[in-house]
């Protein structure tokens, strides 16, 4: 009988232990959660984008007339002084090369012009002799008229003869000048390329000086050769005082940006140092740009001007890549909660606050959100603990346990 009672108590004890183990196994366990805190401090909302630098008003040096550009010795990066530094030289265009037939025709034209000039000079000599004789006759008629030895009609006839002889002389002088010009023109046709303007001859060479003081950004034409009016030769800009940043924002981001917004410029290679700037203007017209994924996007150019002195960005030139963070909103004393604590609840937002080992569903009113932190306008206060990354298994009043360790 004693043995039976002993087995009974053993079996009873084992049942109680099993029941306790099952109860413990199925008893609700606290959820392990990550906890953050509502704090107060400065907060800002920024729009980030890759950008590039450019010179606000670059000056292009172009050929002002047709001619032959002499080799350009200026190199990109050279400093020039406006109105003083010679940046390019343009010589007159050389005469075209003549083939043998054209050259023979030109020689014949020269011979004809020489003969015509010889005839014109002969006519000039004859006209000069006639005028000399008419001059002597006129002087004689004037003396005779003074003594009454001849009539007024004879004097008038002598004057008329002199006038005719003088006019013939003047015409002969003009004819000689014309024939000389024709001969010179015929001789010019015989000139081959390089005969009138050698490599070291500066006769007629036009020197172009720098339009502004600054730096040569690029040289479009460096080798010697023919140029036409308007041919670009080089581009000059003032990198120190005229450098700006151009960012191409999505149109949905650009509508949030206004002139005067503060900008932080990074990623330019200055040893991790950031530069300060501000939005100068937002261009009103958008344009279509295809992204790297082949998606058409509407982009808007935003112009940023530097606030720092040029010494702070030494080495930064035109066309360089930078990164900009445009501050579209900021507040020095904002009530802030981690963005990962928020979730949608009906038509609003809510968080789970942690108190006494329980998760409490708390509706909140939010303001600005920069992706990592959110501005709290109501619902929770400074110092409140909030649950981060709340999952669907979390309910109001659920038991929670802060996560420890990694």
Walk along the chain (406 residues) and give the pLDDT tens digit of each residue: 555 555 555 555 555 655 555 544 455 678 888 999 999 999 999 999 999 999 999 999 999 988 899 999 999 999 999 989 999 999 887 666 666 777 777 788 888 888 888 888 888 898 888 888 888 888 888 888 788 777 888 778 888 888 888 888 888 888 888 888 888 877 777 665 444 444 444 567 889 999 999 999 999 999 998 999 999 999 999 999 999 999 999 999 999 999 999 999 999 987 778 999 999 999 999 999 998 889 999 999 999 999 988 888 888 999 999 999 999 999 999 999 999 999 998 899 999 999 888 999 999 999 999 989 999 999 999 999 999 999 888 889 889 888 876 5
**Is there a contact between 316 and 243 (Cβ–Cβ < 8 Å)?**
yes
pTM: 0.65
Q: Give me 65's structure tokens.
A: 């007339």
Predicted pLDDT of residue 248: 96
Predicted pLDDT of residue 205: 86
Predicted pLDDT of residue 158: 81
Predicted pLDDT of residue 184: 83
Sequence ranges of the domains in the chain: 31-46+333-402, 64-86+208-230, 100-188, 239-327
Predicted pLDDT of residue 72: 93
- CATH number for 239-327 (one of 3.40.50, 2.60.40, 2.40.30, 1.10.10): it is 2.40.30
Q: Give me 303's structure tokens.
A: 């112009």
Q: Does this chain's domain 31-46+333-402 share its CATH topology with 239-327?
A: no
What is the architecture, at CATH level 2, of domain 31-46+333-402? Answer: Beta Barrel (2.40)
Predicted pLDDT of residue 101: 79
* 215 Cβ contact list (under 8 Å, min separation 6): 77, 78, 79, 80, 236, 237, 238, 239
* Nearest partner of 131 among 162, 89, 98, judged by Cα: 162
Predicted pLDDT of residue 201: 45
**Is there a contact between 64 and 211 (Cβ–Cβ < 8 Å)?**
no
């Amino acid at each position: 009988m004693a043995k039976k009672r002993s087995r009974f108590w053993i079996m009873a004890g084992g049942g109680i232990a099993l029941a306790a183990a099952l109860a413990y196994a199925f008893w609700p366990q606290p959820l392990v959660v990550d906890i953050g805190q509502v704090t107060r401090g400065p907060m800002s909302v920024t729009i980030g984008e890759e950008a590039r630098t450019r010179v606000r008003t670059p000056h292009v040096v172009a050929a002002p007339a047709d001619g032959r550009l002499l080799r350009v010795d200026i190199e990109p990066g050279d400093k020039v002084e406006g109105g003083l530094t010679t940046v390019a030289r343009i010589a007159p265009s050389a005469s075209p090369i003549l083939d043998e037939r054209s050259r023979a025709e030109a020689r014949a034209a020269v011979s004809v012009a020489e003969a015509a000039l010889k005839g014109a000079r002969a006519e000039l000599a004859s006209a000069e002799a006639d005028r000399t004789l008419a001059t002597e006759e006129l002087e004689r008629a004037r003396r005779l008229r003074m003594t009454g030895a001849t009539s007024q009609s004879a004097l008038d006839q002598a004057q008329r003869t002199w006038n005719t002889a003088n006019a013939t002389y003047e015409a002969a002088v003009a004819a000689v000048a014309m024939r000389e010009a024709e001969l010179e023109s015929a001789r010019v046709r015989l000139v081959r390329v390089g005969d009138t303007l050698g490599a070291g001859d500066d006769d007629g060479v036009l020197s172009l000086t720098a339009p502004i003081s600054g730096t040569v950004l690029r040289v479009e034409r460096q080798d010697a050769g023919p140029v036409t009016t308007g041919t670009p030769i080089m581009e000059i800009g003032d990198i120190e005082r005229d450098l700006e940043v151009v960012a191409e924002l999505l149109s949905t981001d650009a509508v949030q940006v206004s002139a005067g917004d503060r900008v932080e410029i990074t990623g330019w290679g200055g040893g991790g140092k950031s530069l300060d700037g501000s939005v100068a203007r937002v261009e009103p017209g958008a344009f279509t740009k295809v992204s790297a994924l082949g998606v058409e996007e509407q982009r808007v150019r935003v112009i940023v001007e530097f606030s720092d002195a040029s010494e702070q960005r030494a080495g930064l030139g035109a066309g360089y890549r930078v990164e900009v963070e445009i501050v579209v909103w900021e507040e020095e004393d904002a009530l802030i909660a981690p963005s990962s604590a928020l979730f949608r609840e009906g038509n609003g937002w809510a968080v789970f606050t942690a108190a006494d080992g329980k998760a409490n569903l708390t509706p909140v009113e939010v303001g600005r959100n920069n992706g990592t932190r959110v501005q709290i306008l109501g619902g929770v206060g400074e110092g409140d603990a909030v649950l981060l990354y709340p999952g669907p298994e979390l309910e109001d009043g659920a038991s929670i346990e802060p996560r420890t360790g990694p």
